[in-house]
């Protein structure tokens, strides 16, 4: 079942649809990339590259740079936008 089919089902089911106040589709945007911060261990960057992550998103690079500088941060972005790397890259880098 595709995402569109699931959404169509939810919209058509009166028991579910009556509980939803608003539907909104947010159009996709082109991603913005940055280079890995210079303090990131090259082994970590190389390992990420084997997983298809050759450059971080700009918000990830900024978050990692700030955390590694000792700043406290809060990252609020949509689902599947890369928050996990914002938190885990500094930790993994420190371990290495």
Q: In this predicted model, what pLDDT tens digit does every residue of 6-65 receive, in sequence order?
A: 989 998 998 998 898 988 888 888 999 999 999 999 999 999 999 999 999 999 999 999
Spatial contact of 89 and 40, defined as CB atoms under 8 Å apart: yes
Q: What is the pTM of this model?
A: 0.74
What pLDDT, on a 0 to 100 scale, did the predictor assign at position 44?
96
* Nearest in space to 49 (alpha carbons), one of 84, 58, 40: 40
How many CB atoms neighbour CB 65 within 10 A?
Answer: 18
């Amino acid at each position: 079942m595709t995402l569109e089919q699931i959404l169509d089902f939810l919209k058509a089911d009166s028991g579910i649809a009556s509980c939803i106040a608003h539907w909104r589709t947010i159009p996709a945007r082109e991603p913005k990339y940055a280079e890995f911060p210079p303090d990131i261990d090259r082994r970590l960057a190389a390992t990420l590259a084997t997983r298809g992550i050759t450059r971080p998103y700009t918000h990830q690079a900024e978050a990692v740079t700030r955390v590694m500088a000792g700043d406290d941060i809060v990252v609020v972005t949509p689902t599947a936008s890369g928050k996990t790397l914002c938190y885990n890259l500094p930790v993994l880098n420190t371990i290495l």
